[in-house]
Structure 1
Amino acid sequence: MTAASVSHAQPKVVAHRGYWKAEGSAQNSITAIRKADAINAFGSEIDVLQTKDGVLVVNHDAHVGPDKILIEGADYKQIKDIKLSNGETLPTLKNYLKAFKKCRNVTLVLEIKEHSTDEKMVRATRDIIAMVEKMGLADRVMYISFMPTICDEVVRCAPGAEIAYLSNRMTPKQVKERGYTGVDFHYSQFQKNPRWVKECHDLGLNVNVWTVNKDEVIKEMIGLGVDYITTDEPERVQQLIKNSCK
């Protein structure tokens, strides 16, 4: 998929941390991506961090479990038995990708999380890309990150991959100049700067917004013509998009 191929008329829905509000699901669980796939969401978003001994795990926060163990400072054996709220074990990226490979509809929107040093972020990024490519999933994964170090590394290591910048610390023009393919800003940035949507599209950039859960904001983002809406309420957003096309 290229930036030029994206239709700006009808946003695509990305389930934030998967469809975790569905029965039996949990944030960043394997069930969550299966649930997102089952409702034909365009995308399912996850967060990835790397342990001290190099294992890639799926979790949003830098710390995990009741003891708040720092993932990047721990060996995998210290966190491998931690349970999610739905009873699943904390997933490794490898196991997550195995489950994702069996999904029929959904695209994986993979956030590479901030680590404490550039060296760690570069290592994590390279290892993630290598795993995705080894499993034959490169054309089904979009990358996102708040960290320019990570976005730059994706550009270097995975030419042609979709990579969107999550922070508003750059203008659309600056994002384009760095070779990124899109922006993924909090919706409030487009409320303040609605012209940015057209500016991004004129530059050939995709526009994603997060995390949009309220009806009035969902409708506003649809009206602005964004390409993707990341949400905790994917079925509700799907319905509102459908209604907007009537």
Structure 2
Amino acid sequence: MKANKQTRLVLEIKPSGMGKERAVKIVDAAVALVKALQAEQYVVYISFDYNMMLRLKQLVPNAPMQYLEGDKSPAQLKADGIMGLDYHYKVFQKNASWIQEAKKAGMVLNSWTINEPALMDWFLENEFDFITTNEPELLLKKQKESIRKNR
């Protein structure tokens, strides 16, 4: 961590099927571990569980966090102080207006899992902050092509 200038740890907190109390304990333990390791500045929290996201917001209000489920609009997320959308690509294709809504609100846009070249082009054209892929070499090639094309 001492030599790190740009790499982030994306810490996904998995939903618990054992009730809200268990979910709170999981979030509390994850945040305590991050603090014990003095890694706060390196962590981006993500989760499919909205209540876990709200608990994170209580414990670490300024931490970067992105919601994964895809069932909340940018306005809903922003109202709760969650400034990142990390949705499956089909959610953004179905709700394309959310892209500009999120950008206007200063929110982070991420999508997963983009492996097809045409999808990569679409997300690059829409200027997403992050694209999750199993094909990083292809995405980097597409990104370079997109930069050359837009010069």
TM > 0.5 between the two? yes
Q: Which runs of 4+ in 1 moved over 3 A?
A: 101-105
Which ranges of structure 2 fall in alignment gaps of 5 or more residues? none
**Separation in 2 of the partners of 1:215 and 1:102?**
36
Query: 1:1-246 residue pairs with structure 2 within 5 A?
Result: 101=1, 104=4, 105-116=6-17, 117-246=19-148
Aligned identity (percent) is 33
**Separation in 2 of the partners of 1:188 and 1:239?**
23
The Cα shift of 1:127 comes to 0.9
Larger Rg: 1
**Separation in 2 of the partners of 1:107 and 1:188?**
25
**Separation in 2 of the partners of 1:135 and 1:161?**
15
Task: Report the TM-score when normalising by structure 1.
Answer: 0.57
Paired residues of 1:194 and 1:224 also in contact (CA < 8 A):
no
* 3-state SS, counterpart of residue 118 of structure 2: helix
**Separation in 1 of the partners of 2:3 and 2:133?**
20
Aligned in 2, Cα 1:103/1:147: closer, same or farther, shift over 3 Å?
farther
Query: Larger relative CO (CA 8 A, sep 6+): 1 or 2?
Result: 1
Instruction: Deviation per CA, 1:74-120: give whole Å up to 9, x if none.
Output: xxxxxxxxxxxxxxxxxxxxxxxxxxx47845211111001111111
Give RMSD over aligned pairs: 1.5
Paired residues of 1:114 and 1:121 also in contact (CA < 8 A):
yes
* 3-state SS, counterpart of residue 113 of structure 1: coil
**Paired residue type of 1:108:** L
**Separation in 1 of the partners of 2:40 and 2:147?**
32
**Paired residue type of 2:106:** G
**Paired residue type of 1:237:** L
Normalized per residue, which structure has more helix? 2
Task: Report the TM-score when normalising by structure 2.
Answer: 0.90
Structure 1 residues 120-129 or 235-244, which shifts more?
235-244
**Separation in 2 of the partners of 1:102 and 1:118?**
36
